[in-house]
Structure 1
Amino acid sequence: MKLALPTRNNEVDNHFGHCEYFTVYEINDAKEIIAEEKVEAPSGCGCKSNIATVLAERGVSVMLAGNMGQGAVNVLNQNKIEVVRGCSGNIKEVAEAYLRGEVVDSSVGCTSHDCGHH
């Protein structure tokens, strides 16, 4: 399994579409992080970029994010990437908490920065 987190300064970036890069963690069957990769973030709005396709091609199945508009959620879901919103803090700590079952989707979307309304 692979997890992706929108990242800025080793923290979960609260604005998915404008992060510095995505951190991708590879997880083994024992739910341990065994590899880390940085994926360059595209410029512009996340839901209108190709980032969902890029991450899906790299094997990402879960996005641990701070907040994002419904457009981005839909595009990620169409690429078979589960979205978990409401994450914050150090990216590795968030990933480890998710693997322990301590992180659930907040179901709160970002409406003020919805794609197309920037």
Structure 2
Amino acid sequence: MMKIAVTYENGQVFQHFGHCEQFKLYDVQDGQVVSSQVVSAIGSGHGALAGFLQQHQVDTLICGGIGGGARTALAEAGIQLYPGVPGDADSKVSDLLAGKLAFDPDTQCSHHHGEDHNCGNHTCGEDKHGCAGNH
């Protein structure tokens, strides 16, 4: 069984891994999605999201932008990363399973300026992204 996670918001691939409040998890067997569910990651934050995915036995992640620290954490967790993916989450999983997913391995979140980054250093916008600068 393979488990794919997609950063998720309103059916779309959410474009900022570190601010992702939901993941859609897909259980895949014999190249087919056999089940899926949306799970909340609220409160996990930048550094804990790789561990959150590991707890859910995820081995593959499809996402939009992602910072260097998160990339390292995912690699250490043994999670295969497909960054730089926009669009409908379900269709992107189908594309991956069909071997035709378009992604950009060099996609980075440009506002991450090293290991000292924290949410208080920039305006994240809506509090719903779990990043109101009040950690």
Q: TM-score, normalised by structure 1?
A: 0.87
CA distance in 2, matches of 1:7, 1:113: 21
Number of matched residues? 115
Cα pair 1:18 1:44 within 8 Å, conserved? no
Deviation at 1:36, TM superposition (A): 0.6
Runs (5+) with no aligned partner, structure 2: 122-135
Alignment correspondent of 1:24: 25
The Cα offsets for residues 9-50 of structure 1, whole Å up to 9 and x where unpaired, read as 110000111123010000011x1111112221133642x22x
Cα distance, 1:54 vs structure 2: 2.4
Residue number in structure 2 paired with 1:35 = 35
Whether the aligned pair in 2 keeps the contact of 1:6 and 1:64 (CA below 8 Å) is: yes
Displacement of 1:105:
4.2
Q: Distance in 2 between matches of 1:80 and 1:90?
A: 25
What is the CA distance between 1:102 and its match in structure 2?
1.0
Normalising by structure 2, report the TM-score: 0.77
In structure 1, what is the Cα distance between the partners aligned to 2:50 and 2:112?
18
The match for 2:96 among 95, 98, 101 is 98
2:67 is the counterpart of 1:69: yes
Q: Which amino acid in the other structure matches residue 112 of structure 1? A: H
Q: 2:81 aligns with which of 54, 78, 83?
A: 83
User: What is the percentage of aligned positions where both structures have the same residue?
Assistant: 27
User: Is this contact kept in 2: 1:66–1:88, CA < 8 A?
Assistant: yes
Stretches of structure 1 lacking an aligned partner (at least 5 in a row): none
Aligned to 2:109: 110
Distance 2:45 2:52 in 1: 15
Higher mean C-alpha deviation, range 77-86 or range 108-117: 108-117
